[in-house]
């Protein structure tokens, strides 16, 4: 398999992974919102289900950490592609990129 074809396969899987993580974060965020709304709708005390809510919030935080690591991996793969002479913008999978902000700046500095 050629370097370029391998690069295309990796780029597609990378973007697929990034989107899957974002969709998982959306789903967990919706779960957290529904849990809070459910408590209010039923009218039970705040401590009811609080431990379950803690676990869901920790899960969302862990997904955020996974997201940051995949982004750092993305940057590392870009460096590998450049070093190997593989054009990394060839497959049309590029999404607009803006300068990192907030936590992403930390991820960029760690890469």
pLDDT tens string 43-60:
999 999 999 999 999 999
Residue 20, pLDDT above cutoff 60: yes
**Contact indicator for 4, 90 with CB cutoff of 8 Å:** yes
Residue 93, pLDDT above cutoff 60: no
pTM, full prediction: 0.80
CA 99 to mean position of chain CA atoms: 16
Q: What is the mean pLDDT of the chain?
A: 88
- Comparing 38 with 94, the larger pLDDT belongs to 38
């Amino acid at each position: 398999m050629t370097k370029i074809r391998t690069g295309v396969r990796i780029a597609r899987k990378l973007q697929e992974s990034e989107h899957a993580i974002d969709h998982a974060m959306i789903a967990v965020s919706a779960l957290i919102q529904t849990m809070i709304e459910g408590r209010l709708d039923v009218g039970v005390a705040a401590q009811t289900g609080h431990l379950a809510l803690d676990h869901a919030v920790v899960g969302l935080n862990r997904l955020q950490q996974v997201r940051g690591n995949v982004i750092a991996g993305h940057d590392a793969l870009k460096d590998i592609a450049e070093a190997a002479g593989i054009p990394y913008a060839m497959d049309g999978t590029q999404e607009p990129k803006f300068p990192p902000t907030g936590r992403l700046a930390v991820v960029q500095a760690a890469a």
